[in-house]
Structure 1
Amino acid sequence: MKSLIVSTIGTSLITNPATKEERNLLNQHSNHKEKNCPEEIKLLIEKLFGSISEKLNSSDNSVIRKASAELNGILGFYNEDLSSAENDFHFLISTDTLQGIKSAEVVANFLGVKNIACQPYTVPKLTTLNKEVFSEGIKNLLKWFDETIAGYKNSGYQIIFNLTGGFKSLQGYLNTIAMFYADKIIYIFESESAELIEIPRLPIKIDNSIFENDLSKFLLLADEKLNFNEFPEIHESLIDRIDDYIILSVWGELVWNKVKYQLLKNLVELPNLIYEQSFQKCFDNIIDVREKVTVLETLAKVSNLLRSNNNNVAVLKKDGGLLYEDYKSTKIDNVPVGHFRINQGDRISCQFKNKKLYLRKYGRHDFVNNNP
């Protein structure tokens, strides 16, 4: 069975061969990106990676496994026979830091030499700079999982999370996240005699009733912060509270990303939006539930923008994703008909009247534009 292996990438490649003094310097600058990293640290990183790259490309498996926790897990998964990886694909997940990105590049180069298909992925804002930035990075990683893994799963891939590498705070989250996305976790402890540990996914059942009665609020909250008074009864584990506002917590976003495809099969009433029968018909004709979710998430964004800007439709024109505009010569009852984007190819036509947006048609660009 072909496998998709998602490996978290740490910095053991350069910290292992570094001296104590060098490790201290690397740790002090571990969250730096290339643009704000001191030149002396860049030179140190280049020196260490230069020596380790040569070592990886000329050593036997035992040396490689000692040098890289990530490759230790990968070699363990294949029983040191990398020729059996020909049908598999590897994602290498790195922090948004110079050290993390360089580490992923070295692992990718090694796998590439072995003719193993792989791709590094740097998670935006994934650093341990502070709690808020780290949390935002985890949410970006969740979004990437949600957009990426389902396609491989539907194509018959076994999903493996290799958590042998990576830093501990990330592993703590991914051990739980893997129970939602992976078929199993693999891990090897730091010991020459340690064997590969495989942890299968546990059967997790989510209580959908928590979300079913508040779909509109969860849709809005997944897009933007809400005033706590608008949603005071929400379960505390699903949110982070910032002053008088709430946002979905990492765990809230994780669970919502899983249940939304089960629950968002029909139109959901949202503030300032009116669904005309023609739009209802277009939505009901959508077969792919992921497409329905994308439409509803865009509508939640539109609703939030109107709510936070005194129902001023001009705010939709300023948004680079929506690109709202009126048709030049199309009016109904002397009210202009406009349209906005769902994505590159899909549009929604609408009219703004009485401080509400009346949605008329949804579909491909030409379908909507030819008869808005």
Structure 2
Amino acid sequence: MSYRFAVLSTVGTSVLSNVERNVGRLRSGRARGLFSSKDKPPSRLAVDDELQVLFRELAKPGDEVFDDVFNLVKSDPLTYSAELNAIAAWLRNYPAKSTIGEVLIALYPTDTGNSIFSAAVIRHYLNAESLGFKERTGLSPSTVVKVDEPVVLRGFGKGVEWFRDGLMELIDKFAGRIIDLKNRGYRVVVNPTGGFKPESAYLTLIAMLAGAWRIIYSHESFREIVELPMLPLSLDPRFKNALKQVGQGVYKGVLEQVGVNVDELEDKGLVEVKDGVVNVKDWVAKLLELTG
């Protein structure tokens, strides 16, 4: 029997930090100039640094900086990319590789130029070196490897305000994709190794709520791959039922008359109350819509 796997992976800047450590191997003078900077190393740029815009513009094959970085990654992809290392190591250790007929890889960079650049390099490697990737993972040459266009999680990496905008993106673009892929018969594997840690923590919880099949993680110090326990998470039925009664907006007094503890819902950050009217927060409504 053949299975289809979908690997959804966040993307950080490990590609860039590893290039910085091997800057002498770059051939392009422009690339060496960018990656040898002590004041503004590309992997550690502030989210509002003007160089973030530059790296968005460089994120395409044919640019001399992009091609130079790509060639380094191609020479040793599992060393240069923590994301590729985690995905490849998990596939290599999966005991029933012969049952994998297709691997779909979806990359999720944060809303920063350096992460978007890194995702573009990783995607280009997977497309251009598909056979080499299969050899490194032990997949059969006949296994189909597909790579989606990277999906930027808007708001992520933009500071504390991401909780307002980024969480909606996470639920819509990430949880929604997990549910859609499950419904299409894929075994969904989530790799939250790359990117910002607070966002990765939320992503892991959302993946569990959405019903991912496996969640894997690469320990940055030991480079070991672990499968995180799949906790049986779900929304508290009390809150779920109460939130459905709130709907599109109901007066607080009406809800309290039917036994809804509005103060508890507000304390949990699930609703907001304005002028006596209770509304479910946008991200909560989206989560309810996706998870039923």
Q: Above 0.5 in TM-score?
A: yes
Equivalent pair of 2:58/2:117 in contact (CA under 8 Å): no
Equivalent pair of 1:238/1:249 in contact (CA under 8 Å): no
Paired residue type of 2:110: T
Measured against aligned partners, the alpha-carbon deviations of 1:228-261 in whole angstroms (never above 9, x if no partner) come to 88874324224375987866275x35752455x2
Structure with bigger RCO (C-alpha 8 Å, 6+ apart): 2
Alignment match, 1:207:
236
Does 2:286 correspond to 1:220?
Answer: no
Deviates more, 1:45-54 or 1:11-20: 45-54
Alignment match, 2:267:
236
Equivalent pair of 2:9/2:83 in contact (CA under 8 Å): yes
Does 2:83 correspond to 1:53?
Answer: no
Distance of 1:194 and 1:212 partners within structure 2 = 43
Equivalent pair of 1:188/1:197 in contact (CA under 8 Å): yes
The offset of 1:183, in angstroms, is 1.5
**Cα distance change, pair 101–26 in 1 and its aligned pair in 2 (3 A):** same
The offset of 1:15, in angstroms, is 2.5
**Cα distance change, pair 157–220 in 1 and its aligned pair in 2 (3 A):** same
Alignment match, 2:32:
none
**Which consecutive unaligned segments of at least 5 residues does structure 1 have?**
262-372
The offset of 1:198, in angstroms, is 0.8
Alignment match, 1:2:
4
**Secondary structure of the structure 2 residue equivalent to 1:87:** strand
Q: Larger Rg: 1 or 2? A: 1
Structure 1 segment 188-203 matched on structure 2, within 5 A: 188-191=218-221, 194-203=223-232
Paired residue type of 1:72: N
Measured against aligned partners, the alpha-carbon deviations of 1:290-322 in whole angstroms (never above 9, x if no partner) come to xxxxxxxxxxxxxxxxxxxxxxxxxxxxxxxxx
**Secondary structure of the structure 2 residue equivalent to 1:79:** helix
**Cα distance change, pair 206–240 in 1 and its aligned pair in 2 (3 A):** closer
**Cα distance change, pair 128–214 in 1 and its aligned pair in 2 (3 A):** closer
Query: Please, what is the CA RMSD of the aligned residues?
Result: 3.8
Alignment match, 1:330:
none
Equivalent pair of 2:7/2:190 in contact (CA under 8 Å): yes
**Cα distance change, pair 17–256 in 1 and its aligned pair in 2 (3 A):** same
Distance of 2:279 and 2:127 partners within structure 1 = 44
The offset of 1:9, in angstroms, is 0.7
**Cα distance change, pair 214–199 in 1 and its aligned pair in 2 (3 A):** closer
Q: Determine which of 77, 80, 95 is the counterpart of 1:64.
A: 77
Does 2:166 correspond to 1:137?
Answer: yes
Distance of 1:47 and 1:249 partners within structure 2 = 43
**Cα distance change, pair 44–145 in 1 and its aligned pair in 2 (3 A):** closer
The offset of 1:20, in angstroms, is 5.9
Does 2:199 correspond to 1:166?
Answer: no
Alignment match, 2:135:
none
Paired residue type of 1:4: A
- Structure with higher strand content: 1
Equivalent pair of 1:146/1:257 in contact (CA under 8 Å): no
Paired residue type of 1:151: D
**Cα distance change, pair 122–2 in 1 and its aligned pair in 2 (3 A):** closer
Distance of 1:99 and 1:180 partners within structure 2 = 29
The offset of 1:211, in angstroms, is 3.1
Deviates more, 1:165-174 or 1:21-30: 21-30
Alignment match, 1:248:
281
**Secondary structure of the structure 2 residue equivalent to 1:77:** helix
**Which consecutive unaligned segments of at least 5 residues does structure 2 have?**
21-35, 131-144, 256-261
Structure 1 segment 108-119 matched on structure 2, within 5 A: 108-115=123-130, 116-119=145-148
Q: TM-score, normalised by structure 1?
A: 0.55
Does 2:92 correspond to 1:79?
Answer: yes
**Secondary structure of the structure 1 residue equivalent to 2:156:** coil
The offset of 1:26, in angstroms, is 5.4
The offset of 1:8, in angstroms, is 0.3
Equivalent pair of 1:31/1:127 in contact (CA under 8 Å): no
Does 2:176 correspond to 1:147?
Answer: yes
Equivalent pair of 2:171/2:287 in contact (CA under 8 Å): no
**Cα distance change, pair 243–255 in 1 and its aligned pair in 2 (3 A):** same
The offset of 1:190, in angstroms, is 2.3
**Cα distance change, pair 15–214 in 1 and its aligned pair in 2 (3 A):** closer
**Cα distance change, pair 119–43 in 1 and its aligned pair in 2 (3 A):** closer
Equivalent pair of 1:104/1:120 in contact (CA under 8 Å): no
Distance of 2:147 and 2:251 partners within structure 1 = 43
Distance of 2:282 and 2:171 partners within structure 1 = 11
**Cα distance change, pair 140–229 in 1 and its aligned pair in 2 (3 A):** farther
The offset of 1:150, in angstroms, is 2.1
Equivalent pair of 1:228/1:246 in contact (CA under 8 Å): no
Distance of 1:142 and 1:33 partners within structure 2 = 29
Equivalent pair of 1:161/1:186 in contact (CA under 8 Å): yes
